[in-house]
Structure formats: structure tokens, C-alpha cells
Structure 1
């Protein structure tokens, strides 16, 4: 697939993830997924696309940006602090121009925007996954509980693992989704991990999205 960046993406690109099938069919016994606290918001005034000042990890150490890696498709994402360990599939655009979603029945499958930046190379890479399906919580159900400084590991097809550090975790209503902040170009390797959140209504599903902002801080082979 030709790599075209993220300019085709908009807020509508993530609505396919947000039907809230489990909450809709699960009745009172179902519980909404965790949402980010105010403490996890970005506080430096930046949009996470040009900063190089480093981020504190969960042990208090400063984690500065690592050099970009060559392009290589990703195969797996791990977020140890919220017990995510999931394969990745390439996602394209639907006929309507929105980002396609991973198959809902495969609840532990996430996807990446294969026409854009690959995780680890310079730019903004996009990973998305369902928060739930009709059977219960899905791959990114606990994404809103992620904290600044947490590690995200992405296994790449060239045998390397790109290691990212979380800069912020934020929730946005669908009516005011900050496209440029989330999808905009970056001058260092960055990652966005997106799922549904921001409240829930039975008539419409989830009202917005949870977005994790992270930057590359290392790699291993």
C-alpha cells in the first residue's frame, strides 16, 4: 500500500470502534471502561509533535527521544502495565474515507494505519482497537487507565522492538476531536493509540475517544 501519511484521517476515522456493543447488550451488569484522569493530560502546552525534552517514566527517570528507525511493518503491540499483548493487522480506509476497524469478533486484535507511518520511524504512527465487543472487554478496554511514563512495545517485522514512553492520555468528545493534535506530522517518532471513551449513551454508543500520546525512547533486537 502506498504510504500517504495521516492527512486523510479525521475524527470520523475512529467511529467504527465506538458502538459499545457490550454495554448495549450487557445491561446493568456491564461496566464502562476506565477513563483518563486529569493527572494524565499533557501539561507542557505542546501537542506532542515537536517536543524533545523527554518524559518521566514510571520509575521517575527521564526518557529522551530515541533516533528514528527504518520503516518496517509492526506485528505486535504490548502494554505491560494494562496487560495488553496483541497482534497487529494493517488497516486501510473505507469507501467513505474513514479508517477501517479491526474485525470486532477478534477482541484481542488491534490495527495500524498501514498507509501512514510505521511505529518507530519518523512521524506519527496510528494504532487503533476496540474497547469491547458483544462478548465483553476487548483489546484496549483498559487504555484509559494508562499513566504517563508507561512503556509501549511494538514488535516489528525486521526483528526489532520499538519502545515508546507515554507522554499523555486524554479523552475527547467526538464533536470536538482535535484532528491536528492527534494525527498531525511529527519531527520525531511518535505513536498514537486510540480507542473509544468519553462517556456512553445507549442510543449512540461511546461519545468520544481515548487517545494515548507516546514517543520513541529506545529499541531492542
Structure 2
């Protein structure tokens, strides 16, 4: 299995089950995000699915639940047709140290802190977004950035926000 840039994703990963459920809500107060969570897998072309609506985010349900060891990946739209606001329109305004809150289906909230913000050009290996090897809990947010290619139907780059679970 590969990510959307041809990088290898782990074939077999065992996640520690801490009894944490899947996410249902993402809140990022510093950029006024309060979004419902859709569950997605991989598309037929091996790319992470995207949320169906501009106001929701999408959790890659092939990985860990928030608060479990590994990298939770959540995608959201930025820039939407006809200037309709999208959930991650202001993702680039996050700062190192900002807090994100993920509520799961059991009512538990897990807090993550922004560690790094990075842009990746189209065609660059982004497998680091989908996996980690440090045995810690992470949440990575990803959205489109740069110019939109109408023919290829994709943007020129991806903006990724890497976070660590509070207290890690």
C-alpha cells in the first residue's frame, strides 16, 4: 500500500488498544474550527479519501484512534468552489504550541499540541504523515495548498500540521 505520492505505508501495524473510540469532533480554537468527523479509507488509486463536505474533516480509519500510539491522520478541505468557506481555510495560521482537541465516540477528549508545520510539493513522498516510529501518540492534519490544477484535479502542494499528544 502506498500514500498518494508513491511512498510506502506500513503493511501490518499493530495498534495498542487503550479502549479509545474513533473521533467524532475536531476543535481548534485558535483558528475557529469545530468540525464533525467523517470516516474514510483509501481510494481505488491508493490515496486517502477526502471529506464529502467543506465543513467536515475526514479521519483515515486504517490507523489508530486518537490517543493511541501512532499517527492519526485527519484531512480537510481548504479553498472551495464559489468561495464557500472550508474547514481548513486557516490551517496555515496555526502556530507551534497551539492546541487541538479531538472528541471520540465515548465522550473522551484527547488534546494535541502543534509541533511542526510543513508544506510538501506535489509528487514528494509524504509517507511520514501516515506513520511514526517513536511509540508516541500523534495527530497529523493535511490539506491542499497552492494553486489548483483544473485538469489534474489536484493542488500544487499539501500543508501538513504535525502534533503530539499533550504530555508526551
Whether these two folds match at TM > 0.5 is yes
- The structure whose residues are more often helix, as a share, is 1
In structure 2, relative to structure 1, the CA distance for the partners of 1:94 and 1:208 (3 Å cut) is same
CA–CA separation in structure 2 for the residues paired with 1:114 and 1:141: 23
Normalising by structure 1, we get a TM-score of 0.64
2:39 aligns with one of 65, 90, 100: 90
Tell me the number of residue pairs that the alignment of Structure 1 and Structure 2 aligns: 153
Q: Decide whether the 8 Å contact of 2:73 with 2:141 is kept in 1.
A: yes
Q: Decide whether the 8 Å contact of 2:75 with 2:143 is kept in 1.
A: yes
The equivalent of 2:98 in structure 1 is 150
The equivalent of 2:51 in structure 1 is 102
The equivalent of 1:121 in structure 2 is 68
**SS of structure 2 residue aligned to 1:149:** coil
The answer for unaligned runs of 5 or more in structure 2 is 7-16
Q: Relative contact order: is structure 1 or structure 2 higher (C-alpha 8 Å, sep ≥ 6)?
A: 1
CA–CA separation in structure 1 for the residues paired with 2:38 and 2:2: 18
Q: Quote the RMSD (CA, aligned, Å).
A: 2.0
**SS of structure 2 residue aligned to 1:144:** helix
The equivalent of 2:122 in structure 1 is 174
- CA radius of gyration, larger in: 1
Measured against aligned partners, the alpha-carbon deviations of 1:175-211 in whole angstroms (never above 9, x if no partner) come to 22332x22223411101000011x2155555201000
In structure 2, relative to structure 1, the CA distance for the partners of 1:140 and 1:9 (3 Å cut) is farther
| Alignment pair present for 1:194 and 2:150 | no
Measured against aligned partners, the alpha-carbon deviations of 1:148-191 in whole angstroms (never above 9, x if no partner) come to 00000001111110000000111110122332x22223411101
1:70 aligns with one of 19, 27, 36: 19
CA–CA separation in structure 1 for the residues paired with 2:136 and 2:156: 31
Measured against aligned partners, the alpha-carbon deviations of 1:115-167 in whole angstroms (never above 9, x if no partner) come to 21111111110000111221323010111111100000001111110000000
CA–CA separation in structure 2 for the residues paired with 1:69 and 1:210: 30
**SS of structure 2 residue aligned to 1:116:** coil
Runs of 4+ in structure 1 off by over 6 angstroms are none
- The structure whose residues are more often strand, as a share, is 2
The answer for unaligned runs of 5 or more in structure 1 is 1-7, 14-67
Normalising by structure 2, we get a TM-score of 0.83
